[in-house]
Structure 1
Amino acid sequence: MSPALDRRTRWVAGSAVALALLFAGAATVAAARDDGAAPGPRTPAAGSADAGFARDMAVHHQQAVEMSFIVRDGTRDEDVRRLAYDIANTQANQRGMLLGWLDLWELPKTAPDGQGPMAWMQGGGHSGHAMHGMEGMDHDGALMPGMATRAELERLAEARGKQAEILFLQLMTDHHEGGVAMARGCAERCTVPVEKRLAQGMVEAQQSELDLMADMLAARGATPRT
């Protein structure tokens, strides 16, 4: 990716996140003051599933925003550009909410020492359902399941037209599959009700977009990579 494109992508994505944080602030405060009967702790611990999901999904979403802005420069196809715009808007706003919760809980945006990405998904005595879709995924240097590597992002930035559309849809399909598995993990493990609801909403919305992207790939004579 050229330095100019990289700077522009990060500036636009960063601006979207900053705007999302402004809107999320009031919502997160209200969520924290939800009824006292909430089953989970009011302030999660730094090593909890609530905090881990917020940290990891914020990073995961940032890459989806980045890829969406890249493909908008690589194709004039209105269907792909519209999908990219919707993904960028939705995930930038959700990222703002996740970061807002971490600020509200006064927790760091980096994992505690000795705890890498996705550590919150391991063990805990839950069923294996949340991990479905993650087994066998090739990380190939990617930080989390479904995330594109830097080399793949550079290929996307260089692609144009139909090639860019297919590569974007394939990369975003992988990205959504990883995101759905993570969101299911929070729906099982998280204890803050509003975060569990957000996670379940992510599962439903991203699964719908997975179905749409499969159709868009088929219309271009291609299939998902996985």
Structure 2
Amino acid sequence: MSHRQINKLNSHKQDNHKRNSHNQNNNLDDNNDPTLLYVAPYGGYLKDLIHELKLGKNTELKLPLGRLLALRVLLEEEKKLHDKGLAHIFKYIFVDIFKDILKFILFDKSSLCDKIDTITFIPLHYNRLIERGFNQAELLAEVVSDSLKIPAYELLVRSEDTIPQGQLGRKERLLNIKGKFDINLHIEKECYLKKRILLIDDISTTGASLEEGRRVLLQNGASEITSLVLCR
């Protein structure tokens, strides 16, 4: 990410602050799911970066954002991440020194790494994938997989092209996504049977997509699912 891009994001922070706070209060479900890991509440710089990746189609951001997710896994206790401070962390996730930071944190006994066998992600329907050109959740999962040296597979498929979740309220989101995911029959069962799976998406609002993905994976023989997002 260039300095110009960072400065552009900084310039929008004050303008968006009140709107972000309002969106947080009105859009986010009070989800206390202990299996959900997230980096930060929805808003601020992180929200701008996610939008730039997803809507601005700046796929170069998959690397820093994916590395941030990997760091969240390594720092299992949420307090550890917030004690470091997002601004401090972002200084390092854009440079190669991050790999050295990862190696150091790998010695932390609280790491989730030894509790995860496989990584997967929330799928996009084929029509949406063609329209956008990429699945941001898949891009993030690839970076997390590379950072943590844990294999990633496309375990889920979207069987129906639904209305975008962002256009719906909480109840509508739950109904919109229910029954719309299937297990990917082109993937060997050994990749998910009795496996502890990390399920990745960019944002969790109501948690409907993650819960549906979790349901399908467990129904097909996975032993445990942990969800991981950048924001909630």
Structure-2-length-normalised TM-score: 0.29
| Higher helix residue share | 1
